[in-house]
Structure 1
């Protein structure tokens, strides 16, 4: 019994070591993230948060010059409604106003990480002010700019949905292309009385239906009372955003499928593209503490625009105009990369 167990275990270990794909994704791929993100964020401190001062806030105005320069970038706005709307749209981390000796921080439930940083800074300011006088004078209060039923799920749903759509669209296009080429299905389709546009249209339609099903499932699950997602009034704008995102990531999959010779290599290429992009696009966590150059790189990635577009549509109650830019960028990616895939396309492996 012991000899059989040892022999079987040894065979499994040898098979694992010989499988280069398994070795890469089990050991090297996670290690790559450790090295990359460890190097990027090793010197990252607390990033500046943009806040709005509504009217006169004495505790801020009387602070020593430069007291908040390292952590807060303060703008002033006399119109309270406009200030709260700017926070609701994600342009600012918080809006601060004075109600007598009560300091009120207005924040968005869709971005509680940045709001938490601001609350921490202002709490230290209030504590310092109270130590200078007796008895305790100032207090700090927080209020959401949205309805109180909103929770952190407001941030995670658009990001994770973007990742799911990108994975589904990229894999469906890339792996299908490789498998059809290996099994000679592409050659048969080429000789069959079927137009290329029909084949492409069918593939796009199926991928679009899958993406819309993902949208429905994510919204359905996140809207359960346990999670508490509250959709914005213009949530339906997520539908065209999802379709544009699907086309963009299908084009990435087509490039991967055109380059790869096997399903395993196509899988590896897709993983190398989509997984780092998810981290760098803010799909899993905010990029507030990332260096400025990394944020610039993030803006070049299609998933970043899919994430921000879905945030505007699903939770920030953005207008049609607010999603037109990310939709246009995603369609631009689709056009350019589809043209690249067309140049690299092969009907068979020969």
Structure 2
């Protein structure tokens, strides 16, 4: 049976000038039927939408599009716009949502929390149980950095070009539980690690387990959290299709008793940094050799690695087409930089063009 997939998108709220606007609570208070499932995120300048689980990439694409359209309809009533950006191009002062949990995080983590106006795209892939989920987590690490590169959509930070394709990944890395993980072997070892992290008193609750990929606390899924919020709907759909292929390939390898990949966390971290720095515009660390290689070659290796799973899910043609479109258009970071150049460096225009392209 084909594994279901769902996507959660964190979306930036901007005003008519393209600056982040604190309208999340106003929007949530006025949600209407048809707006879709909209929920609060950490900051008043962002909002989250989520799809139901789907087996078909075509259906998932339609659900992502409907979620974005619903978010924009709700934002319109509050005088705001929605942009699928992983960071704001313009300077901002982040305002946490006024919930007890978010205020506690703000108080505990200081500047790290205040600067977390970052938007990610999270993919949930169904697994049979925690045992299969941990077997998957132990095998997918080498292929997560290419997903970050494909989604890279945050070149600007506080009004400046950061030099990174995904500066969100740099800002996000400040939290104490982010990044790649060691192999766990069993669900008991995974949950013991979570309990140990909680026991340090460093994080407030299990929801602050921010691993690149984790067992979802709410659903029977592996949640892949490495990606930027994607500029285009098609990129989010592509990300989900690739994530499903990665999870399915790992689950098959575990069922066949294949050895674990040789993937030291130090190398995984370096590969993740390189993907955030380069996106698709430079080299990536090739998981087959742990050497720098052209991004096109590394993404091609990913597709080859999961080809059987893509074929069996009926996703190969769709993934091939979506990848072709992404190579043609460039990643989100490249497109944002192009828009900035076209507007003479007007970063507000970048945010406005992203809002215009929300459903493209």
TM-score by length of 1: 0.26
More strand by share: 2
More helix by share: 1
State which structure, 1 or 2, has the greater radius of gyration over its C-alpha atoms: 1
Higher relative contact order (CA 8 A, sep 6+): 2
